[in-house]
Structure 1
Amino acid sequence: MYVILYGLAGCVMAMTFAYFNATITTLEKRYKIPTKTSGIISVGNDISTMLTAALLGYYAGNGHRPRWMGIVSHLGLLTIVAFCLLTSSLHFLYGAGEDALKLTREFGQVNETLARQEKDQKLCQSSPGGCVQEVGQWVPQVFLFVAQLISGVGQALFYTLGIAYMDDNGTKSKTPAMLSLSTFLRMLGPAIGYSLGALCLRLYIEPTLKPLIGREDPRWLGAWWLGWLVLAAITLIAAICLFMFPKELPSSRRRRLQVRHMERKMSLPLKERTFGDMMRTVRRLARNRVYVYNTAASILYFFGYMAYWIFTPKYIETQYRQSAATATMATGTVALGFSAAGVLISGYVISKYKPSARSMACWNAIVDFVTVAGILCYVAIGCEGSDRLNSLTTLSAGNSCSADCHCDYVHYAPVCSPENITFISACHAGCSERTKDALGRTIYTGCQCMGSSGLISDPETQFAVDGTCPVDCFNEFLAFLGVMCFLKLMGASSKSTNLLIALRCIPPEDKTFALGLGSMVASLLGFIPSPIFFGWLIDNYCLVWGKTCSSKGNCWLYDTASLRYALNLTAASFIFLGGFLNISVWYYAKNLKIFDEEESPKDSSKNKEVEMETLDCKS
């Protein structure tokens, strides 16, 4: 029952973080946030986890774990409620935004003056200047970061003490099955969170208005704020059940009484937890080679694969020209289903065949190298039509046909030429007039930059249609999705083996602190710097920035070919190094014992006699 309830509570936590990742590209567009900044925002919860995990895990490790988890779960889940409400409040404070409202049918009907100004701005044959004024854009970024920061407070103690409590209150032979079941339940959270994100992003950011663009248009903004209200409502009921568990379960109490009885016979005093003792524990763990190499291998894997956990929807949108809803659904529901299957299969195999520590470390190394091979396949799975879109900057920059219009701060409003070439805007295509055809589509005419180097003089070919040119990358997207699902299956199969090695390579009295210390180090060296680094890397390949008067804003278009090589090869390098560290774990784990020997009936009767004797002494 504890395993199920603990897994469901973790599921609720995971839903919120998955939903944030699902909507991060929409937040970038709405509040003009560069990817590097969104990477910094996304690690706010890891920063608070890093600051609290080891310290709380050490001092609370000998306390009432379920009560601690109940308190922190209540606090943690309530801070996640605050996280949800604080994030959604941005929409109610700032609204849908003028860029989104301009793309609705009601905008032109309600405000004809602004609509006329928008027409002139797209053609932008006016005086220089006129940059986009964005007042207080740093405030939403601070809101989002603070919300992430407070959400990580309860997460640290929840996971650190929860796993240790589960391991302490069950036999070692059952730990793999319990870990797999709780992890499986927790992994339903991202699937549900991403599915909720896909559903909300299918709605326009202002659901009461009718948009003039489709969901595949890069300017589409979904109702990102709606899901936070749903998550805040269901998170309120998640923590109560953890208060109902005792300090320890009956079987664990029997084992503890046996240990205490032996300590009394040997006159071993109980140790108090002090800061000096904590530092001695750190030095003792630093000399544990299996613990150090296993932790380092995990950090390198996390550092490399973190880019896909956070930026996969963005990668699918930019590389394969899929809508935000489709990218989110593929990342969450489809791919995470394979992750859940990998956890269950590995839990069954470990419980049935009880592999040695060396076998588990060997499997972890194999998974790392297979992951590297799969990421190299990502490099090969590109879309030619998507890569061709980066040519629009060379076609529109420095051409004499558009040199007279001042377009430094033009809104990203792509148009498509008869040659199926996308231009940043009608301004960059050298267009001078805007009309509507019989179908109601916006047509720009007099476009002097049409054709090769703008040399075509036939007025009938000098027109452009509003929106990006159609690009068919669906087959490439399916190939990418197939490889991603396979890697999710393989990667999830190593979760239990990695955690079991971490649990068994340390003494029982150091278990809680070691988990907390490992979580802190992983946050410091992996979870925190990785999104910032890869966000910076992605920004380096931006071709079209949504400029404002004070900053570059968000990126509208990337050099997809260069980005595909740089992102995937960099991530693969870190995971490749982690595979060699797992080989080191394999070498030093030869004497590590993962499972207890089966208890014989004779030993069981002796244990019962010791228990009765201890209870008599106590009475």
Structure 2
Amino acid sequence: MATADRKKLSHFSLLGMKLPTRAHKWINIRLFSLLMCIVIAIQGTYLGYIVGVLTSIEKRFEISSSMSGTLLAMYDIGHTLSVLLVGYFYADCHKPRVIVGGVLLSSVAMFLLALPNFAFGPTPYPSVDEIADQYANGTYGCRENTTSLDAVDHCPKAVHGGAYAIMILAQLLAGVSAAPFNTIAYIYIDDNVSHRDSPFYLGLLTGMYAFGPAFGFLLSAGCTNLYVVPSAEQKVEPSSHYWIGAWWLGFVICAVLYIIFSIPLLLFPRRLHRRSKVDPIEMNSHLQGIDDQEEELIAADTLSTKFAMVWQTAKALPAAICSMLRNQVYSSMVLGWIFGSYLIGGYGTYLPKFIETQFEQSASMADIYAGLISIGSVAVSTALGGYLLTRFNIQPRLATLLLIITWVIIFFTYLLGIAFGCDQVTLQGKQLAGGIWNFTTECSKQCNCPAQEKFLPVCDGKWTYFSACHAGCSFEADNNTWLNCKCTEYSTVAVEGFCKTGCTALPMYITTMFVGLFLGNLFFMTTMTVVLRCVDVQERSLALSLASFLTNILGFIPSPIIFGLIIDSACVAWYSPCNDSGNCVLYDNMAFRYKYHSGNAAFQLAAILVVVFTYYKQENFAYPESEDFDNDNDRMYEHDEAKGINTANECGPNEKMLTQK
């Protein structure tokens, strides 16, 4: 192809301004892949970060675990509703611009997630100076000479509901805007590299989805170690119950990073020049003189044709899906994939909360430990397992057997997790019907503690009390120590916070879960391998898209909600200043530990049983031949180009999509 023709083929510009010729050599698929790896890493960071700051969000806006689970599920709902539409209708548009649109919308979503901090104030709790004044005035102490205060009169009306609604909207937008990352970006790379190199590039992008959340947990650990107003001078420690970390800061950081890395993506044209097996003369005659602006005009001229093609494809789609679901190997493996996803959606989502409440850890340290378990083990073992499957060319049925064995390890790891925990905090009070506690004793009745007293625990050295008022304390010294506590049993002095149980089970728990999940996830990639290889070559795109869609609908979306309800059922004390459910301030450690791990074990057992059925059905199952897959694709590509079919000039479903979707 002549040099002049190449310049016409690859039109490099930034917002309509042509770039210098010397800059063209840097605009290649390697740079695009690097930028997309960074963008996906930012997305993964956000996904890990929001899990890491979930406890801080619950405390700040006084929401329950089931509500926070719904908040997390909104991302998957938005992503599920948009991923098929974006991957289908925008596959032939100017892909880099579609991706930039997704990146910028992701930035907007991050700013929206941080907005409640600025719109409704940083925290409902008083400042440290106000706390000191109120302590000195006896506001949080025993009120023998006053009447009971009604906290409902001071309830911040609709603040929490408004903040929660904004975050729900932001999560939906984050899910929708991320759709181009694992659809359009994959197609753009695949279109501009050889069939041999494509798995390597796509593997890099997929790997960032696994490792990105590790950065998110580290970021959340750093942000929650800062007070919600970082510039304010604070006198309390991160381990204090008064502490609310800077949960919003990480969202702002992600938003800024999205904007920064969206700019170089604007440099990329609709199509990058690459060597092709197609005759250069034929390609040149077909593409000569066509740049991005002219391609958009061509796309407009064929809009009516595209609508007709969309309608024809839509009519054929239900029959194709039904035919695929009748494939018992495919449908059973997808069902096993769905149950297996609860490891991330259920166990991984609430792991920081479990570690923080069960082992008396700060939010920042809980994030680090959770990242070590869920990311350090799962991400590394999944990548290693994919290498082992490729290195030893393990066939699908043997790989399925290995998957069953490793998933059995996960099942028993969950059961072992029940054994490692800490003793229940000895909170002074009386347990009522239904497991709910009343923390007002005969002694503290005369202190007139408000019915909606904030949960600010104090310890007399043996027993923990709901607040200084419930301990009958009169006033507080400068070192967060309450004096003259007449309702305490062990000492007349009480110190802020829970009584320490001296629990040392955390190292054993982390070791057990890390080793078990590392071994258990070695062959998780078998799910995707079987899904792709048990269908015909032309059905693979639909097979993977349908599997991802069903996994979101039945796995990632409901799992945080289900486990949020399970965890809420282990709560024994709620802080509800507005006569609503509020957020849980104290869990039954044993119930939390048992329900959390046994619930995950139940879903893991369901996954094992389903995959055993898959293994049984594979015995006489004939996998479609796929050894000539790349050669067939090359011949199809050459055939289309030789006939003058150039789907990249149009915006809508192309002929390959009609045959594969």
> Which category of TM-score, normalised to the shorter sequence, fits these structures?
0.7 to 0.9
Structure 1 residue 344: Cα displacement: 3.2
Q: Give the match for residue 354 of structure 1.
A: 393
Which of residues 620, 624, 627 is equivalent to 1:596? 627
Q: Does the aligned pair in 1 maintain the 2:470–2:487 contact within 8 Å? A: no
Distance change (3 Å), C-alpha of 1:277 and 1:253: farther
Identity %: 25
Q: Give the match for residue 23 of structure 2.
A: none
Structure 1 residue 491: Cα displacement: 5.0
Q: Does the aligned pair in 1 maintain the 2:135–2:141 contact within 8 Å? A: no
Q: Give the match for residue 423 of structure 1.
A: 465
Distance change (3 Å), C-alpha of 1:484 and 1:116: same
For residues 36 and 598 of structure 1, the distance between their equivalents in structure 2, rounded to whole angstroms, comes to 46
1:388 and 2:431 correspond: no
1:289 and 2:331 correspond: no
For residues 457 and 641 of structure 2, the distance between their equivalents in structure 1, rounded to whole angstroms, comes to 79
- Name stretches of at least 5 consecutive residues in structure 1 with no aligned partner: 258-269, 452-460
Q: Give the match for residue 265 of structure 1.
A: none
1:300 and 2:322 correspond: no
For residues 8 and 161 of structure 1, the distance between their equivalents in structure 2, rounded to whole angstroms, comes to 16
1:187 and 2:210 correspond: yes
State the superposition RMSD in angstroms.
Answer: 3.4
Which of residues 23, 28, 31 is equivalent to 2:61? 31
Q: Give the match for residue 524 of structure 1.
A: 553
Distance change (3 Å), C-alpha of 1:447 and 1:115: closer
Q: Give the match for residue 267 of structure 1.
A: none
Structure 1 residue 571: Cα displacement: 1.3
Q: Does the aligned pair in 2 maintain the 1:357–1:594 contact within 8 Å? A: no
Farther off after superposition, 325-334 or 554-563: 325-334
Code of the residue aligned with 1:397 in structure 2: it is: F
Structure 1 residue 321: Cα displacement: 0.7
Q: Give the match for residue 128 of structure 1.
A: 148
Q: Give the match for residue 377 of structure 1.
A: 416
Q: Give the match for residue 434 of structure 1.
A: 475
Q: Give the match for residue 309 of structure 1.
A: 348
Distance change (3 Å), C-alpha of 1:209 and 1:597: same
Q: Give the match for residue 584 of structure 1.
A: 613
For residues 581 and 344 of structure 1, the distance between their equivalents in structure 2, rounded to whole angstroms, comes to 24
1:559 and 2:588 correspond: yes
Q: Give the match for residue 319 of structure 2.
A: 280
Structure 1 residue 354: Cα displacement: 1.0
Q: Give the match for residue 497 of structure 2.
A: 467
Q: Give the match for residue 320 of structure 1.
A: 359
For residues 84 and 366 of structure 1, the distance between their equivalents in structure 2, rounded to whole angstroms, comes to 40
Q: Structure 1, residues 496-517: CA drift from partner, whole Å, max 9, x if none?
A: 3222222222333333333332
For residues 56 and 131 of structure 2, the distance between their equivalents in structure 1, rounded to whole angstroms, comes to 24
Q: 1:223-242 residue pairs with structure 2 within 5 A?
A: 223-239=246-262, 240-241=264-265
For residues 643 and 232 of structure 2, the distance between their equivalents in structure 1, rounded to whole angstroms, comes to 76
For residues 376 and 338 of structure 1, the distance between their equivalents in structure 2, rounded to whole angstroms, comes to 18
Structure 1 residue 579: Cα displacement: 1.0
Structure 1 residue 146: Cα displacement: 0.4
Higher helix share: 1
Q: Secondary structure at the match of 2:572?
A: strand
For residues 76 and 277 of structure 2, the distance between their equivalents in structure 1, rounded to whole angstroms, comes to 32
Which of residues 333, 354, 371 is equivalent to 1:332? 371
Q: Give the match for residue 540 of structure 1.
A: 569
1:64 and 2:64 correspond: no
Q: Secondary structure at the match of 2:586?
A: strand
Q: Does the aligned pair in 1 maintain the 2:449–2:470 contact within 8 Å? A: no
Q: Give the match for residue 574 of structure 1.
A: 603
Q: TM-score w.r.t. structure 1 length?
A: 0.83
For residues 391 and 298 of structure 1, the distance between their equivalents in structure 2, rounded to whole angstroms, comes to 45
For residues 67 and 248 of structure 2, the distance between their equivalents in structure 1, rounded to whole angstroms, comes to 20
Q: Does the aligned pair in 1 maintain the 2:425–2:499 contact within 8 Å? A: no
Q: Give the match for residue 242 of structure 2.
A: 219
Q: Structure 1, residues 513-546: CA drift from partner, whole Å, max 9, x if none?
A: 3333222222221111111111111111112211
Q: Secondary structure at the match of 1:400?
A: coil
Distance change (3 Å), C-alpha of 1:543 and 1:210: farther
Which of residues 408, 411, 419 is equivalent to 2:454? 411
Distance change (3 Å), C-alpha of 1:323 and 1:244: farther
Q: Does the aligned pair in 1 maintain the 2:135–2:476 contact within 8 Å? A: no
Code of the residue aligned with 1:131 in structure 2: it is: A
Q: Give the match for residue 46 of structure 1.
A: 76
Q: Does the aligned pair in 2 maintain the 1:396–1:423 contact within 8 Å? A: no
Distance change (3 Å), C-alpha of 1:472 and 1:449: closer
For residues 585 and 240 of structure 2, the distance between their equivalents in structure 1, rounded to whole angstroms, comes to 11
Q: Secondary structure at the match of 1:327?
A: helix
Q: Does the aligned pair in 2 maintain the 1:57–1:512 contact within 8 Å? A: no
Q: Structure 1, residues 392-418: CA drift from partner, whole Å, max 9, x if none?
A: 555963531123334311111111113
Q: Does the aligned pair in 1 maintain the 2:346–2:560 contact within 8 Å? A: yes
For residues 54 and 95 of structure 1, the distance between their equivalents in structure 2, rounded to whole angstroms, comes to 38
Q: Does the aligned pair in 2 maintain the 1:58–1:278 contact within 8 Å? A: no
Q: Give the match for residue 399 of structure 1.
A: 441
Q: Secondary structure at the match of 2:505?
A: helix
Which of residues 87, 91, 100 is equivalent to 1:74? 100
Q: Does the aligned pair in 1 maintain the 2:142–2:449 contact within 8 Å? A: no
1:205 and 2:248 correspond: no
Structure 1 residue 463: Cα displacement: 3.1
For residues 577 and 616 of structure 1, the distance between their equivalents in structure 2, rounded to whole angstroms, comes to 50
For residues 247 and 231 of structure 2, the distance between their equivalents in structure 1, rounded to whole angstroms, comes to 14
Structure 1 residue 484: Cα displacement: 2.7
For residues 572 and 493 of structure 2, the distance between their equivalents in structure 1, rounded to whole angstroms, comes to 24
* Number of residue pairs the alignment of both structures matches: 572
For residues 147 and 201 of structure 1, the distance between their equivalents in structure 2, rounded to whole angstroms, comes to 21
Q: Does the aligned pair in 2 maintain the 1:5–1:241 contact within 8 Å? A: yes
Q: Does the aligned pair in 1 maintain the 2:439–2:466 contact within 8 Å? A: no
Q: Structure 1, residues 221-259: CA drift from partner, whole Å, max 9, x if none?
A: 1111222221111112445549457489656879xx9xx
Distance change (3 Å), C-alpha of 1:512 and 1:283: same
Structure 1 residue 490: Cα displacement: 3.4
- Name stretches of at least 5 consecutive residues in structure 2 with no aligned partner: 1-29, 283-307, 432-436, 646-661
Q: Does the aligned pair in 2 maintain the 1:36–1:533 contact within 8 Å? A: yes
Farther off after superposition, 355-364 or 300-309: 300-309
Q: Structure 1, residues 551-600: CA drift from partner, whole Å, max 9, x if none?
A: 1311111111111111110111011111121122223344325862699x
Distance change (3 Å), C-alpha of 1:237 and 1:206: closer
Distance change (3 Å), C-alpha of 1:21 and 1:618: closer
For residues 288 and 167 of structure 1, the distance between their equivalents in structure 2, rounded to whole angstroms, comes to 28
Farther off after superposition, 500-509 or 535-544: 500-509
For residues 164 and 32 of structure 1, the distance between their equivalents in structure 2, rounded to whole angstroms, comes to 43
Q: Give the match for residue 365 of structure 1.
A: 404
For residues 205 and 584 of structure 1, the distance between their equivalents in structure 2, rounded to whole angstroms, comes to 51
For residues 170 and 364 of structure 1, the distance between their equivalents in structure 2, rounded to whole angstroms, comes to 32
Distance change (3 Å), C-alpha of 1:470 and 1:213: farther
Q: Does the aligned pair in 1 maintain the 2:535–2:624 contact within 8 Å? A: no
Code of the residue aligned with 2:515 in structure 1: it is: F
Distance change (3 Å), C-alpha of 1:98 and 1:611: closer
For residues 488 and 183 of structure 1, the distance between their equivalents in structure 2, rounded to whole angstroms, comes to 20
Q: TM-score w.r.t. structure 2 length?
A: 0.78
Distance change (3 Å), C-alpha of 1:425 and 1:352: same
Distance change (3 Å), C-alpha of 1:595 and 1:98: same
Farther off after superposition, 310-319 or 441-450: 441-450
Code of the residue aligned with 2:557 in structure 1: it is: I
